[in-house]
Amino acid sequence: MGFADMHIHSVFSDGTLTPERIVQIARENGVELISVCDHNEVRGTLEAVRLALAAGLRYVTGVEIDAIFEGVDIHILCYGADLDDPVLLARIRHARAALDGMEDALLARLLPDYPQLDAAECAAFPYDSSRGGWKMLQYLQAKGVTADLKSGIPFYERYGVTYAGAGFDPAREVVAAIHAAGGRAVLAHPGVTFPSDDLRALEAKVEAALDLGLDGVECHYPRHSPGVTRRCVEICRRRGAIITAGSDCHGAFNHNEIGQTHTPASALKLNGLAVV
């Protein structure tokens, strides 16, 4: 069997790769099980599943949903759910609106310091999906505030626009909506969400998230140290939880490659998660 990559972003959120290109690269990189998990958006995964199956790949439908857990924004990978379920869609759309609202809040705080910015102009600014990121980053670069897209990201923290304060739903409610829609909820990149050199502290956070009702953990991730990966796998094995692997590839918007963790699909533990 080939590799697995269950965390890929497309042009439907902040990636630069079309679903067609994602499938092509997956085949080139020896990845046989994939999932497109765009930020609070389902169109990419619904388009990719058809293309993946036609190319002979295995596929799990997915979406990455922002939620708040113990005052921290966590990313929940929702897999195998009914993406037509109205309650789940309402949660996803609310998270998308909260994410977009962060752009509006940042712009309002930037206006006094950067007279070249304009609210109406920003609202009409055309987003170029081939460049990745999000509209505010592209607008700031176009107006000469930043030299490149990623230089705009620190402005959020600098001006007090935080994910924790964006208004995302509580994680427990998001997990409940995923389960009611027949899906599984997996904690994305815990080593990044809960950064710590103390593996026991990380373990406590992961255990608490699983106690909340999450079904598993993205154990294999490019920015996880070997120690973090081993600890997450140990937790999941002990608790009988789902084990996944993901690159978090955004195409040209980050340096991660599809299949980067080189995790064999046979090394995952999906606990009956629907794979098509």
Q: Helices 86-110 and 171-180, interaxial angle, to 10°?
A: 150
Give the CATH architecture of domain 3-92+170-267: Alpha-Beta Barrel (3.20)
Q: Considering the chain, what is the average pLDDT of its residues?
A: 96
Provide mean pLDDT across the span 264-271. Answer: 96
Cα separation, 234 vs 192, in Å, equals 18
Task: Give me the residue spans of the domains in the chain.
Answer: 3-92+170-267, 95-158
Cα atoms in the 13 Å half-sphere on the side-chain side of 7: 26
Q: Is the pLDDT of residue 225 over 80?
A: yes
In our burial notation (b when 16+ CB lie closer than 10 A, e otherwise), range 157-169 reads eeeebebeebebb
The pLDDT tens digits of the residues spanning 15-55 come to 999 999 999 999 999 999 999 999 999 999 999 999 999 99
Q: Pairing state of beta strands 62-69 and 242-245?
A: unpaired
pTM of the model: 0.95
| Closest to 219 measured CA to CA, from 54, 67, 227, 51 | 227
Q: What is the DSSP string of 109-150?
A: HHTTT-TT--HHHHHHPPP-GGG-S-HHHHHHHHTTS-SSSG
CA distances from 157 to 106, 151, 215, 252 (A): 10, 12, 31, 23
Sequence-distant (≥ 6) Cβ neighbours of residue 73 within 8 angstroms: 66, 67, 162, 163, 164, 166, 168
pLDDT at residue 197, rounded to an integer: 84
Looking up tokens 């993901």, which residue turns up?
246
Position 139 scores a pLDDT of 97
The rounded distance, in Å, linking the Cα atoms of 110 and 27 is 44
State pLDDT tens for residues 166-223.
999 999 999 999 999 999 999 999 999 999 889 999 999 999 999 999 999 999 999 9
Nearest-CA neighbor of 187 among 43, 69, 80?
Answer: 69
> Is the pLDDT at 1 greater than 90, yes or no?
no
Q: What is the pLDDT of residue 39?
A: 97
The tens digit of pLDDT for each residue in 55-105 reads: 999 999 999 999 999 999 999 999 999 999 999 999 999 999 999 999 999
